A and B are shown apart, each in its own frame.
Chain A
Amino acid sequence: MNAALREALTPARRPCGSLSVRVMGELCVLRCSGALWLPAHGALVAGDLHLEKGSAYAARGQLLPPYDSRATLDRLEAEIAELKPERVVLLGDSFHDSRSVGRMAADDRTRLDRLALGRDWIWLEGNHDREALTAADGDAVSGLPGRVVGDLRLGALFLTHEPMPEAEDGEVAGHLHPCARVVAHARMVRRPCFVTDGRRLLLPAFGAFTGGLNVKDAAIAGLFTEPPMAAALGKDRVHALAWNGLV
């Protein structure tokens, strides 16, 4: 285990069930909701909301429940109410496709405006929503609140949508929807998770209808030169899991 990871794990558990780690020295609170709280920057970070994924499927003939956006916003609202962040950073793929914004129910749109009110609301571009965010006229973001950026630097951290294999230290990214699997007592448990080696941090997908990719998959494992830690989302706490205990 490297020094960074060992340091990352030192102040482990918070009363609310969150797990605190340090990534390049920055205090990162891994929340049970799957969001990341950066106290030093007053920033709440959430990855891969995939809003309107349900209606995207419906448009193609699979009538998934139209409640995924409000379920996701419910959880985001709860985090904002508890942490009162100065800024909210959405780590890309906030919308499932280019027409998502138009399909949103009116009250979901209103709620988004209300949540963004009085804080720095930042959309990072992702591969799914680059068009959705810039569709209108460049910066107007099709009437959405907040601003759109490609990536963002906060202290020692570099926030971006898609992790890069040769990234600089401090990269915080989403995109991959990491999931951890453990088997015990002849039963398998599979949960969304954070992944970190103390140098970079991957966030789980925050959206209600988002699936996951096993952290053992080469697309995730290949990003790390040494075994990272997976922090899986439990019911009311985040569980730190050893890499070699995962299947």
Chain B
Amino acid sequence: MTPPAARLPPLFADWFVSRGWSPRRHQLEMIAAAQNGSHALLVAPTGGGKTLAGFLPSLIDLAERGPRPPHGPGSGIHTIYVSPLKALTTDVERNLMTPIREIGLNIHVESRTGDTKQSKKQRQREFPPDILLTTPEQLALFCAWGGARAYFADLKCIVLDEVHAIWSGKRGDLLNLGLARLQSFSPGLRRVALSATIDDPDLIAQWLAPGLPSPLAGEGGGRSPTDEGSHHPVDLAEPAQNSEGQSDPSSVSLREPPSPARGEGIVIVKGDPGAVPIIDVLVSEGRVPWAGHTGQHAIPEVYEAIQRSGLTLVFVNTRWQCEFVFQQLWAINDENLPIGLHHGSLAAEQRRKVEAAMARGELRAVVCTSTLDLGIDWGDVDLVIQMAAPKGSSRLVQRIGRANHRLDEPSRALMVPASRFELLECQAAKEAVAENAFDWEPHHIGTLDTLAQHIMGVACSEPFDLGALHAEVTSCSPYRGLSYEAFEEVVDLVATGGYALRTYDRFARIVRTPEGRWTVRNAMIAQRHRMNVGAIVAAGTLNVKVASRRGGASKQLIGGRKVGEAEEWYFEQLTPGDTFVFAGQVWAFQGINGMDALVTHATDRDPKIPSWGGSQFPLGTSLAARVRAMVQDRDHWRVLPVDVQEWLELQAARSMIPDADSLLIETFPRGSRHFMVAYPFEGRLAHSTLCMLLTRRLDRLGVGPLGFVVTDYAFAIWSIKPMDGLDWDALFQPDMLGDDLEAWLEESFMMKRTFRNCALVSGLIERRQPGAEKTGRQVTFSTDLIYDVLRRHQPDHLLLRTARSDAASGLLDVARLGQLLSRIAGHIRHAPLERASPFCVPVLVMIGRERVGGDAADMILEASAQDLIDEVMEDAHPRPGGAELMGAA
């Protein structure tokens, strides 16, 4: 659709001129969309003035509004801006203030996040700002406020920044439910979303579109008095050709012109693509290592690249990798270049310091994780280095975009593969970016634990009518298919826990009013709900604190300065005295005290405990397909480094090169064991699930599987007996995704963890209670017990079903495994070998580095029991250390 010419008020036009800029096309189109009253989705690369494009329409509207009444109609919030990161709201506030100040607008901007002081939050309730910058979690809280309907009655616009990072998950579900709530408070609300370049913008447009049958019909809550003065959406300019098309209000067509009165239709604005980035793959001294995951071999060349460039961002995939690369770079930093560190475990102040130093241009390089993937520029980034493979082309583009400070100049990026398969992946990613091929997101259906949280929030805000709320919920695209019966079941979960044994009716958290509406039982329950709002359930984290010894006789260690936060499971593997790297230094672990992991400075340079080396993202589907295609295409090999070409040739000679659609399986003896190595290239998650299921089948076949190991490209299983004679087609039958999957899943640790998340998100279990913070540890323990009991006594409970589908779609990647199994059916190529092939080296060297998988807990107890026997044997001589040991406990 050709947009009508946008009206840029002189005040704003002059400001662009004074800055030496001219408004970009997509900025004007966003203004036009606003003037037509349309919802809008802007898809543009980083650095194109995207955030300003999102705000300009609101600034114009507010500039033309005139003075705001202090009370009553029209005195409320005009625009809400939602960012996935707390840190972003602060930076956006700073950047938004520049045009407001320079144009001289009287617009009041404030942010509100979990960090905002209580006094400021209170003031915002009484005196709302014009523009409020906030996060999805706060939005969920707004929905649980008493009086929310009146407070948001004047809301004209909501801007969702970096929407590609939120929409397709539980956070996206919660955000979408929140949008519908706000839309019911203020039917004329315009939805605006800003996204990085994605493969299919229609998917996000569909997600964003409100499917309200008729927003003006309301849902029975009654319009607040402040509503009267607000504009109705029909007052806004509406394209004339749009008056038909209202016959079927439930269907949303994106091709139709928008109809704000029905709340339908999204205008998709595409930003200019910008200059094609220059991407190089670093091949250190012409060689690519066989295996590895850190890229350690290339550190000197990475350092040289930093020396030659201005500000460089060095992206890695995990926090521990981040620490490792940072240490390696400083070890050879003879010039003392200012190189910083940035990842999500660092204390917030420390991160702010690094960001500020970047913005001031004081740093030459920052080693970082995805924490710097998102957001506005923190400085003029000259070069982006991707250590180890990027795992997805969209992520690579996003990261490269950080070096995109001027849209018309190409950004520069350097990829550093850590192994040969990673080199193939880097090459594939480079080609994907050149062809503008991006990863796609799987279809997402709204999660019911998230819905339960939202329903509770609504009940805390105001009494609701069951039918009206069902209509509102199904207006959200993730929940469009939710039947009334399924909805009622979620309401029952909220009210009484959804148990077949009806003993909790008198303890219901929400109850019916005499008018038949549902409301929260009492203020205490409402307060507890508000303390537990949010869709992200982080792994239990501990504060990492420098230990100091308390004075007096007790000599107990207590926590001092906080260095950062890290996952609890990491510390559970450590014993006091173990050394490890964190926040760029080597520390000695001293013990856990409540929520604190106590550490002291360590003198050794080499930490004793190696970091976990996997990448946190599995290989994306489109990259995986490209790598498979590249491997089988000999002509394509010519672009690869010589030693990699030789490696592929050697593989062809010693074993075979699989076609893109077939699966190569190699079997060979090694030591006293027999190995099976296969190369599906489907990512670690799908491979792990496949191995779990295969080992169960191999066990039944009497092969005696002993263990397995996976990478993003391949997996290896080893066993007591040879596997050469197996019926491969039978072994890889897709029916393993039925009973085998079910049986394994029920017992798995992963399932318990997934259930815990669902229980916390749904509000069945509360993490925070007034006056007492439960630690992650306590929650983990009790939800395991609850899982066991619930599974035995009500195996079809709503939360168990939710957990199963979460596990299948997330951690297990079952959908992708299903695709793999059907792709290879009838296309399995078996190569029985005398010895290991060139391809299998990278996966074989992983053996021994992985944690114990499966149900090894009893084996560990068994092995530890041997210690006691040893102790008994040596007890012929009394052990003097006994009493001392006791004293230390």
* A interface list, Cβ under 8 A from B: 1, 6, 9, 55, 58-59, 61-68, 70-71, 103, 105, 182-191, 208-212, 216-218, 221-222, 224-227, 229, 232, 234-235, 237, 239-245, 247
Complex Cα distance, B879 from A6, in Å, reads 13
Residue pair B789, A9 in contact (C-beta under 8 Å): no
Which B residues lie within 8 Å of A66 (CB)?
A: 497, 499, 501, 503-504
- B857 on the interface (CB 8 Å rule)? yes
Complex Cα distance, B503 from A64, in Å, reads 11
Interface centre among B528, B860, B863 (most CB of A within 10 A): B860
Which A residues lie within 8 Å of B238 (CB)?
A: none
Complex Cα distance, B788 from A184, in Å, reads 24
Residue pair B860, A67 in contact (C-beta under 8 Å): no
27 pairs of residues in contact across A and B, judged by CB atoms under 8 Å? A6-B872, A55-B504, A59-B507, A61-B524, A61-B525, A63-B509, A65-B497, A65-B499, A65-B797, A66-B497, A68-B789, A182-B864, A185-B852, A187-B851, A189-B861, A208-B789, A210-B785, A211-B778, A211-B781, A221-B889, A227-B886, A232-B861, A239-B861, A241-B861, A241-B867, A243-B885, A244-B867
CB distance from A61 to the nearest CB of B (A): 5
- B856 on the interface (CB 8 Å rule)? yes
Residue pair B867, A105 in contact (C-beta under 8 Å): no
CB distance from A50 to the nearest CB of B (A): 11
Residue of B nearest to A208 (CB): B789
Residue pair B864, A184 in contact (C-beta under 8 Å): yes
Q: A63 is contacted by which of B496, B782, B864 (Cβ under 8 Å)?
A: B496
Q: Is the interface of B mostly helix, strand, loop or mixed?
A: helix
Residue pair B875, A1 in contact (C-beta under 8 Å): yes
Which B residues lie within 8 Å of A212 (CB)?
A: 781
User: Of residues 844 to 882 in B, which have CB atoms within 8 Å of A's CB atoms?
Assistant: 851-852, 856-858, 860-865, 867-868, 870-872, 875, 878-879, 882
Residue pair B860, A189 in contact (C-beta under 8 Å): yes
Q: B864 is contacted by which of A103, A208, A245 (Cβ under 8 Å)?
A: A245
Residue of A nearest to B793 (CB): A67
Residue pair B851, A105 in contact (C-beta under 8 Å): no
Residue pair B793, A241 in contact (C-beta under 8 Å): no
Which A residues lie within 8 Å of B883 (CB)?
A: 225-226
Residue pair B868, A229 in contact (C-beta under 8 Å): yes
Residue of A nearest to B780 (CB): A190
Residue pair A227, B882 in contact (C-beta under 8 Å): yes
CB distance from B507 to the nearest CB of A (A): 4
Interface centre among B499, B766, B870 (most CB of A within 10 A): B499
Residue of A nearest to B522 (CB): A61
Residue pair A185, B861 in contact (C-beta under 8 Å): no
Which B residues lie within 8 Å of A244 (CB)?
A: 867, 871, 885
CB distance from A80 to the nearest CB of B (A): 19
CB distance from A57 to the nearest CB of B (A): 9
Complex Cα distance, B525 from A211, in Å, reads 24
Across the A-B interface, the 4 shortest Cβ-Cβ residue pairs? A63-B497, A221-B889, A67-B793, A242-B868
Residue pair B886, A221 in contact (C-beta under 8 Å): yes
Residue pair B572, A188 in contact (C-beta under 8 Å): yes
Residue pair A209, B858 in contact (C-beta under 8 Å): no
- B247 on the interface (CB 8 Å rule)? no
Question: Known: A66-B504, A71-B792, A242-B871. Is A61-B509 also a contact (CB below 8 A)?
Answer: yes
- B764 on the interface (CB 8 Å rule)? yes
Complex Cα distance, B792 from A186, in Å, reads 30
Residue pair B792, A67 in contact (C-beta under 8 Å): yes
Complex Cα distance, B575 from A245, in Å, reads 11
CB distance from A227 to the nearest CB of B (A): 5
Residue pair B851, A185 in contact (C-beta under 8 Å): yes
Residue of A nearest to B861 (CB): A239
Which A residues lie within 8 Å of B852 (CB)?
A: 184-187
Number of interface residues of B (CB under 8 A): 54
- B790 on the interface (CB 8 Å rule)? yes
* B interface list, Cβ under 8 A from A: 496-497, 499, 501, 503-504, 507, 509, 521, 524-525, 528, 572-573, 575, 764-766, 778, 781-782, 785-786, 788-790, 792-794, 797, 851-852, 856-858, 860-865, 867-868, 870-872, 875, 878-879, 882-883, 885-886, 889
CB distance from B38 to the nearest CB of A (A): 43
Complex Cα distance, B499 from A70, in Å, reads 14
Which A residues lie within 8 Å of B497 (CB)?
A: 58, 63-66
Which A residues lie within 8 Å of B792 (CB)?
A: 67, 71
Q: A103 is contacted by which of B503, B764, B863 (Cβ under 8 Å)?
A: B503
Q: A239 is contacted by which of B862, B886, B889 (Cβ under 8 Å)?
A: B862
Interface centre among B497, B766, B778 (most CB of A within 10 A): B497
Beyond A62-B764, A68-B789, A247-B575, 4 additional pairs, beta carbon < 8 A: A64-B764, A226-B882, A234-B857, A245-B868
CB distance from A53 to the nearest CB of B (A): 10
Complex Cα distance, B884 from A221, in Å, reads 12
Residue pair B503, A55 in contact (C-beta under 8 Å): yes
Question: Known: A209-B785, A234-B861. Is A186-B882 also a contact (CB below 8 A)?
Answer: no
Residue pair B868, A58 in contact (C-beta under 8 Å): no
Residue pair A184, B573 in contact (C-beta under 8 Å): no
CB distance from A88 to the nearest CB of B (A): 22
Residue pair B871, A1 in contact (C-beta under 8 Å): yes
Complex Cα distance, B571 from A114, in Å, reads 48
Complex Cα distance, B499 from A103, in Å, reads 16
Complex Cα distance, B501 from A234, in Å, reads 30
Q: A208 is contacted by which of B501, B503, B785, B856 (Cβ under 8 Å)?
A: B785
Which A residues lie within 8 Å of B870 (CB)?
A: 242
CB distance from A27 to the nearest CB of B (A): 19
Residue pair A105, B503 in contact (C-beta under 8 Å): yes
Residue pair A226, B886 in contact (C-beta under 8 Å): yes
Which A residues lie within 8 Å of B867 (CB)?
A: 241-242, 244-245
CB distance from B577 to the nearest CB of A (A): 12
Residue of B nearest to A220 (CB): B889
Which A residues lie within 8 Å of B501 (CB)?
A: 66-67, 105
Residue pair A67, B790 in contact (C-beta under 8 Å): yes
Interface centre among B528, B766, B857, B862 (most CB of A within 10 A): B857
Residue pair A183, B858 in contact (C-beta under 8 Å): no
Which B residues lie within 8 Å of A209 (CB)?
A: 782, 785-786, 789
Complex Cα distance, B871 from A12, in Å, reads 15
Which B residues lie within 8 Å of A68 (CB)?
A: 789
Which B residues lie within 8 Å of A61 (CB)?
A: 507, 509, 521, 524-525, 528, 766
Interface centre among A67, A191, A210, A212 (most CB of B within 10 A): A67
Residue pair B525, A224 in contact (C-beta under 8 Å): no
Interface centre among B864, B883, B885, B886 (most CB of A within 10 A): B864
Complex Cα distance, B766 from A184, in Å, reads 32
Complex Cα distance, B871 from A34, in Å, reads 25
Complex Cα distance, B646 from A86, in Å, reads 78
Which B residues lie within 8 Å of A232 (CB)?
A: 861
Complex Cα distance, B861 from A237, in Å, reads 10
Which A residues lie within 8 Å of B525 (CB)?
A: 61
Complex Cα distance, B497 from A50, in Å, reads 20
Residue of A nearest to B509 (CB): A61
Which A residues lie within 8 Å of B875 (CB)?
A: 1, 6
Complex Cα distance, B881 from A1, in Å, reads 11
Which B residues lie within 8 Å of A224 (CB)?
A: 886
Which A residues lie within 8 Å of B778 (CB)?
A: 211
Residue of A nearest to B887 (CB): A221
Complex Cα distance, B573 from A186, in Å, reads 5
Interface centre among B497, B499, B786, B861 (most CB of A within 10 A): B861
Which B residues lie within 8 Å of A105 (CB)?
A: 501, 503
Residue pair A216, B889 in contact (C-beta under 8 Å): yes
Interface centre among A103, A186, A243, A244 (most CB of B within 10 A): A186
Interface centre among B499, B503, B509, B793 (most CB of A within 10 A): B503
Residue pair B856, A187 in contact (C-beta under 8 Å): yes
Which B residues lie within 8 Å of A226 (CB)?
A: 882-883, 886
